[in-house]
Structure 1
Amino acid sequence: MTATREIIAIPMGDPAGIGPEITMKSLTKKEIYDVCKPLVVGDAKVLAKAIEIVNADLKINEVQTPAEGKYELGTVDVINLNNIDMDKLEYGQVSAQCGQGAFEYIKKSVELAMNGEVKALATTPINKESLKAAKVPFIGHTEMLESLTNTKDPLTMFEVNGMRIFFLTRHLSLKDAIAQMTKERVQDYLVRCDQALQRLGVESRRIAVAGLNPHSGEGGLFGMEEVEEIKPGIEAAAAAGINAVGPVPADSVFFQALQGRYDAVLSLYHDQGHIAAKMTDFHRTISITNGLPFLRTSVDHGTAFDIAGKNIAESISMEECIKLAAQYAPKFSSNTL
């Protein structure tokens, strides 16, 4: 066992999705309890049903505060918000009560983290349509966390098999994403990426920037974005003391990062980094949200409504999500950067 097992809050996600199932499956594993103290925030009735579905030898221990938890294998410590009508719960269906419930689990978990009662959050899937049905004014976790913590533009990082990937742009069309690839934005993000890595306890911080065009534009033969914006942004960051290189052709930079040449890669757009991470290991790709007042890790898959309630969903991603939170939590600085 590690010297310090930090308390990790796990909001159980959309009750109609696979979140409760994969959480209960994860908490049957001794290695989870070896490295942290997992605390589920959710609805005890839904969790009891999930235990039945996955046929796990687990007992629920309802607590009012994190300090009351037992944190021992076989016992699931739960802060029970008791906000789901089981007679109306339908697995795999969009539901306002589930969207509202999922939001309330996250909100409560954030409150615990902001109060210092838990060290980190390991989040499970939520459903955008259910959030909309509940009139929750956010489309996803990042937007919720941004608002609940008053954080501007949180920084997303993926980690898989030791490779770390940051994203210059996220949910934009490729045309709009390219318009965001300015010298100033590249420089700013490289500085922020370096700060995020430092905050996570990464001492060596060599960051490569992926190229946009084939062969990183080949000096302007296949596009001028690298010449006019991306490379000048890298040079400006380097002049400010950031160990940044590139642009490195996107068809090789992620492989090189896996080999240890770089400590992180700045992906220029959503699919560029997502494809690289998920082709490396889909189930072990974990998302970390940087820039918040606390550490947050997340599975990088959805609610999987098509298999919810059927004991089909794999828990590997959730297990890795919790273990990564436990790994970084002792090193994580509570001061925002």
Structure 2
Amino acid sequence: MKKPLISVTMGDPTGIGPEIIASALSDPDVRRMCCPFVVGDSEAMARAVRITGVNLNIRTVSSIKEVSDHENQVCLLPMTKLSQRDLEFGKPTDAVGEAVYRYIVEATRLCMAGAADAMVTAPINKEVMNRAGHNYPGHTELLAKLTSCDNYVMMLAGTRLRVSLVTIHEPLRAVPSLLSTERVLKTIRTTWKDVSTYFCTNPRLAILALNPHCSEGGMFGDEEESIIKPAVDAACAEGINAVGPLSADTLFHFAVGGEYDAVICMYHDQGLIPLKLLHFDDGVNVTLGLPIIRTSVDHGTAYGLAGTGKASPASMIAATKMATEMAIRKLRLEIEK
């Protein structure tokens, strides 16, 4: 089987993105699995190679058709030519915000066209992208727009735990009013479909409660009975292997022990606290529901580390490997059909 072609977006070039890409794409295991190429800025990538000291040559290409897979070499598709002022560490300009947007758009286009098998994204500064006129809360919402996708779900994953979020970046006080049976059911459906496609057959899903102890029969709220349980019942009626609502304070013990393949969480920190406790360095952000494969690091731009060569590439390595494994599994399932 031919190695999957993986598009890696540079993210914010004034953060640690270029450095963790340089380190990850020089990893022997990554290179054995896939043929990666970078969508970004030539000078930023060359600087990252110098800073990290990795044995990696950068070959600039004008088209994805020119991408080749050679040891100690990575191809780069340049979308920008940023100035030295724009590339100052930790001080992203509006030009950087525009650049970040362009890298994502091009990688998405290549995946949608079938030219690339998956995309992996380095961290961005959402405020800077918005300042450049692209008003999206983050990668997930932008990718949904670019791919005309309504039923998208953010999943965070590691080797021991996967969590999907019903609500994402919302104030905690707003979460109860944002929950609905349809929204919970949509998250269950999308998670089950894509975990089945990319990770394992007939996945076992645990659906969390919103309130402590599943509301103790209505003492602490009624969202479990009025919203979450009807969604779980509907999912089960569709043949989805789902259980819930389950109390969040005990469920993760059993999920990490292998009883569930993914956990559906009602809000951001309900899922990300246990995930990052287990996978702080190697957690991966996966956007489910898209017509393309997209993974990302599970951390930010880390401006304080930019330029030091000390940023850990563990999450970028994990994200690239996971995107590759997802692409391979999808291809095998298509062949079996």
TM superposition score normalised by structure 1: 0.94
- Determine helix, strand or coil for the equivalent of 2:80: coil
Task: State yes or no: 1:205 paired with 2:203.
Answer: yes
- Determine helix, strand or coil for the equivalent of 1:57: coil
**What is the distance in 2 between the residues matched to 1:208 and 1:104?**
37
Is the contact between residue 184 and residue 233 of structure 1 (CA under 8 Å) also seen in structure 2? yes
Residue matched to 1:303:
301
Is the contact between residue 131 and residue 139 of structure 1 (CA under 8 Å) also seen in structure 2? no
Q: Counterpart of 1:274 in structure 2: which amino acid? A: L
Residue matched to 2:70:
72
Residue matched to 2:108:
110
**What is the distance in 1 between the residues matched to 2:70 and 2:256?**
35
Residue matched to 1:219:
217
**What is the distance in 1 between the residues matched to 2:46 and 2:269?**
37
Name stretches of at least 5 consecutive residues in structure 2 with no aligned partner: none
Q: Counterpart of 1:278 in structure 2: which amino acid? A: K
Bigger mean CA offset, 149-158 vs 282-291: 149-158
> C-alpha offsets along residues 303-334 of structure 1, whole Å, 9 cap, x if unaligned?
11121111121111100010000111122379
- Determine helix, strand or coil for the equivalent of 1:81: strand
Q: Note the C-alpha offset of 1:240.
A: 2.2
User: 5 Å matches for 1:134-149?
Assistant: 134-149=132-147
Q: Note the C-alpha offset of 1:293.
A: 1.5
Residue matched to 1:58:
56
Aligned mate of 1:273, from 258, 268, 271: 271
CA RMSD of aligned residues (A): 1.7
- Determine helix, strand or coil for the equivalent of 2:210: coil
> C-alpha offsets along residues 132-171 of structure 1, whole Å, 9 cap, x if unaligned?
3322232321122112111114211111124221111111
Bigger mean CA offset, 174-183 vs 108-117: 174-183
Task: State yes or no: 1:193 paired with 2:186.
Answer: no
Task: State yes or no: 1:127 paired with 2:125.
Answer: yes
Residue matched to 1:286:
284
**What is the distance in 1 between the residues matched to 2:180 and 2:132?**
37
> C-alpha offsets along residues 103-122 of structure 1, whole Å, 9 cap, x if unaligned?
11111111111111100001
Is the contact between residue 10 and residue 124 of structure 1 (CA under 8 Å) also seen in structure 2? yes
Q: Note the C-alpha offset of 1:273.
A: 0.3
Percent identity, aligned pairs only?
A: 37
Q: Counterpart of 2:233 in structure 1: which amino acid? A: E
**What is the distance in 1 between the residues matched to 2:188 and 2:56?**
45
Q: Note the C-alpha offset of 1:87.
A: 4.3
Aligned mate of 1:157, from 131, 155, 159: 155
**What is the distance in 1 between the residues matched to 2:127 and 2:166?**
26
**What is the distance in 2 between the residues matched to 1:56 and 1:10?**
17
Name stretches of at least 5 consecutive residues in structure 1 with no aligned partner: none
**What is the distance in 2 between the residues matched to 1:136 and 1:235?**
39
Q: Note the C-alpha offset of 1:222.
A: 2.7
Q: Structure 1 runs of 4+ off > 6 angstroms?
A: none
> C-alpha offsets along residues 77-115 of structure 1, whole Å, 9 cap, x if unaligned?
111123311244210113111111111111111111111
Q: Note the C-alpha offset of 1:180.
A: 2.3
Q: Note the C-alpha offset of 1:227.
A: 2.0
**What is the distance in 2 between the residues matched to 1:164 and 1:102?**
27
Is the contact between residue 165 and residue 264 of structure 1 (CA under 8 Å) also seen in structure 2? yes
Question: Does the C-alpha gap of structure 1 residues 97 and 261 become closer, same or farther in structure 2, counting only changes over 3 Å?
Answer: same
> C-alpha offsets along residues 23-76 of structure 1, whole Å, 9 cap, x if unaligned?
001112110111111111111111101111111221111122233222223101
**What is the distance in 2 between the residues matched to 1:180 and 1:202?**
30
Is the contact between residue 95 and residue 133 of structure 1 (CA under 8 Å) also seen in structure 2? no
